[in-house]
Amino acid sequence: MIRKAGQTAEATSDPEAVFDPDAPLLDLQDVCASYGSYRALFGITFKVPARSIVALLGSNGAGKSTVARVVSGLVPAGSGSVKFGGRDILGLPAFRIARLGMVHVPEGRGIFSSLSVEQNLLLSLRQRVPRKDVPDALHRAYEAFPILSERKGQIAGTLSGGQQRILALSRVLATPPRLLIVDELSLGLAPAIVDNVYEALVAIRETGCAVLVVEQQVDRALAIADEAILLSRGLVAWSGPASGAAAAMDRVLGGRVLSDPVDPEPVQAGPAVTQPGVTQPVVTQPAVTGPPEDEPRGGLAGRAESHMSKPVTAGETVIAGKTVIEGQTVIAGQIAGAAGTPGTAGIKEGT
C-alpha cells in the first residue's frame, strides 16, 4: 500500500506543513535568479495545481533546471515569490522545504556511490517514514523496480548509469511527497525502463502528489502531463494545456512569435534615381557561371573594365548578375539613370 502524499514523519508533525487548500500547490510570481553575474531567469511566473502533472519544457539553456533548483531551495532567487501550498518558501533552506513535503530529484544520479543499493534506500527511507514503516516502503521500491531487488547488495557506484537513476528515483516513489520535481528523468535510461518510470509517475499522481517534470523527451512528458510550460532564454514563452504544447514548441523554438505574424505589405520597386552623395541599394540576380560570350580577354582587370561604363536611358534600371571569373566574384550593382540624365553602371569585386 502506498502512503498518501505528504504523509511523512516530518510533514505530519511539523506545524509549518499546514497548507491552504484553496491555494495552488506551487505558485511562482516574477521569479528572477542568477549564477553570479549571469542572469538565468527573468520574471518566471506559473502555477502547479494540486494532484496534477506539469511538464516544464524548453531547449538546453532555457532555464528549466534553474527553475527546479530555485523552487527546492538549492539556488537562491534574486526577486519574486515562491509559494508552496500558500506558504512563502522563498529564502528557506532546502532541508526545511523538503520537510514541508517537496522532493527534488535533480539531473544526474544523486546516490551514495560507496554504499550498497539497499543501504541507499534505507538511508533515505529512515529520514522520511516512521521506523516501523520502513520495511513496507522498501518492499514497494523493490516491487516498482525489480532490478534493484536483484542487485540490493551491490555497491551503487558499480551500477550502470540508468540503474543509478532508477535507484535515485525509487527512494522517492516508495514514499510520495506533496510535490515531486524530477529533472531529466529519462537521462541514461533504456526505453523500456523509461516506460516503467513514467507509469510510476502516473501512479504517484493518483496518491495526491503533484509532479513537475523537467524533460528533454517532449513526447513522453506531454503524454502524461495535464499542463505544460515552455521556457525560452529564461522567460516563460508559453503555458497552457499539454495538448497545445507541441505546436507552441514548433513556433517558439523555430524562432517565430506565438501570436499570428502580420505579413508586411509588399514594397513596389519603382525606378531608382541617382543623386549625388546617395548610395543606391545593390540588387543581384542568380549567379551566372562563366563570363559572357563577348567578354574580352585580358584578365580580371580587363574584364571588369568592360563592365564599367554602360550608358542607360533616363529612369531605366539595369541589373548585372554575379559572374565568377578566375576564382573571384564580380558583382555589379544597381544602375540607374537620373531623370533626363544618363547613368553609369557600377561594379564591385568580391570573393
Domain containing residue 90: CATH number? 3.40.50.300
Reported as a pLDDT band with limits 50, 70 and 90, residue 50 is very high
In a domain, 137, yes or no: yes
Q: CA-based Rg of the chain, rounded to a whole angstrom?
A: 32
In a domain, 158, yes or no: yes
**230/280 same-domain check:** no
Question: Can you give the pLDDT at residue 120?
Answer: 92
**112/209 same-domain check:** yes
In a domain, 315, yes or no: yes
- Region of poorest pLDDT, from 17-21, 145-149, 206-210, 254-258: 254-258
Pairing of the two strands 210-214 and 328-332 = unpaired
* Region 73-82 average pLDDT: 95
pLDDT tens profile 98-142: 989 999 988 766 788 999 999 999 988 888 788 898 999 899 889
**First and final C-alpha spacing in the chain:** 74
Reported as a pLDDT band with limits 50, 70 and 90, residue 313 is low
Average pLDDT, the chain: 75
**172/57 same-domain check:** yes
Which of the two residues, 239 and 309, has the higher pLDDT score? 239
**CB contact set of 113 (below 8 Å; sequence gap of 6+):** 155, 156, 157
**CB contact set of 315 (below 8 Å; sequence gap of 6+):** 271, 273, 336, 337, 339
**118/182 same-domain check:** yes
In a domain, 263, yes or no: no
At residue 193's C-alpha, the angle toward residues 191 and 199, to 5°, is: 105
CB atoms within 10 A of CB 314: 14
**36/93 same-domain check:** yes
- Asked if 45 contacts 29 with a C-beta cutoff of 8 angstroms, the reply is yes
Query: Which cell numbers in the block locate residue 106?
Result: 535533480
**51/113 same-domain check:** yes
Question: Can you give the pLDDT at residue 311?
Answer: 54
**180/233 same-domain check:** yes
Phi and psi of 236, rounded to 5°? Answer: -80, 110
**What is the count of structural domains for the chain?**
2
pLDDT tens profile 141-191: 898 888 899 999 999 999 987 788 888 878 777 777 899 999 987 777 788
pLDDT at 210 over 70: yes
DSSP 273-340: ---TT-PPPP---S-B-S--TTPPSSHHHHHHHHHH---B-TT-EEE--EEEETTEEEEE-EEE--TT
* Region 39-66 average pLDDT: 94
Which of the two residues, 10 and 92, has the higher pLDDT score? 92
In a domain, 264, yes or no: no
Question: Can you give the pLDDT at residue 315?
Answer: 52
191-206 vs 161-173: helix crossing angle, rounded to 10: 10
Of 63, 90, 351, 52, give the one whose Cα is nearest residue 226.
52
pLDDT at 43 over 80: yes
Distance between CA atoms of residues 16 and 1, nearest Å:
27
Question: Can you give the pLDDT at residue 28?
Answer: 97
In a domain, 293, yes or no: yes
**131/218 same-domain check:** yes
Of 203, 219, 253, the residue at which a domain comes to its end is 253
Residue 340: give the domain boundaries.
273-351
Distance between CA atoms of residues 76 and 306, nearest Å:
69
In a domain, 186, yes or no: yes
In a domain, 120, yes or no: yes
